[in-house]
Structure formats: C-alpha cells, structure tokens
Amino acid sequence: AQSVAQPEDQVNVAEGNPLTVKCTYSVSGNPYLFWYVQYPNRGLQFLLKYITGDNLVKGSYGFEAEFNKSQTSFHLKKPSALVSDSALYFCAVRDDYGGSQGNLIFGKGTKLSVKP
C-alpha cells in the first residue's frame, strides 16, 4: 500500500534560519509527490509538486523540495524562514491504486513554528 510519513510532529526554527520539514514515502511505482500548507481555519494551499525531472523542485513562497529516490524522501526546505511561514505542512502522494486512485494520501502533518 502507498503511504507517506512525516516523522516530526513539530519543527521549531528561528527567523532567518534555514528550515527543513521531512517527508518519506512508500510507493510501488513512480511517485507523484506534493507539499501543501494549511493556515489556521483555512484550506490547503498548494506549494509544489514532483512528477518527473529535476530532483530539486521550486515552489511558492520561496519553498523548494528535494526528491531523493534512493532514500524515498521528499523533504521541504527554505533557505531563510519567516515568522509568517508558521503553519501546518502536509506531504502527499498520489494514490495510483484501488478505489481512491488519482487522489491524495496525506501524511499526518508537521507544525512549523518560526520564532522572531
């Protein structure tokens, strides 16, 4: 079965420092991977996706993610964190099998807290 894991419930970073939010995946074939962000009482905002090609994917708001096939990871990164980046971050993989084919399997989410 396909799955996504976000090993950290919370990540704390000082403003201006680089941030990394971790994600590992388990799929049978080639993965379609996504990162979304959720602010309080809001829906999910799409940040970036990996389908094929360059392992470093650039997305919205200065975020990027590195696809690593050998480590089955898709970590989200930003060189310099902002207080406004504080939110809940979800990694997702597209489900390519069974009744939910084509839809998303989400990780549990990682709460990012950026302190001034």
Partner 1 sequence: KAGVTQTPRYLIKTRGQQVTLSCSPISGHRSVSWYQQTPGQGLQFLFEYFSETQRNKGNFPGRFSGRQFSNSRSEMNVSTLELGDSALYLCASSLGVEQFFGPGTRLTVL
- Residues found near partner 1 in the complex (CB under 8 A): 32, 34, 36, 41-46, 49, 51, 90, 94-95, 99-109
Residue 31, Cβ neighbours under 10 Å: how many? 21
3-state secondary structure of 58: strand
Phi, then psi, of 85 in degrees rounded to 5: -80, -10
Q: How far is CA 67 from CA 9, 19, 77, 90, in A?
A: 21, 16, 11, 15
Question: Which region holds residue 99: left if phi is over 0, alpha if psi is between -120 and 50, else beta?
Answer: alpha
Q: How far is the CB of 46 from partner 1 (least distance, A)?
A: 5
Q: How far is the CB of 21 from partner 1 (least distance, A)?
A: 16
Check if the beta carbon of residue 34 is closer than 8 Å to that of residue 6.
no
Q: How far is the CB of 110 from partner 1 (least distance, A)?
A: 12
Nearest to partner 1 of 50, 85 (CB atom): 50
Q: How far is the CB of 59 from partner 1 (least distance, A)?
A: 11
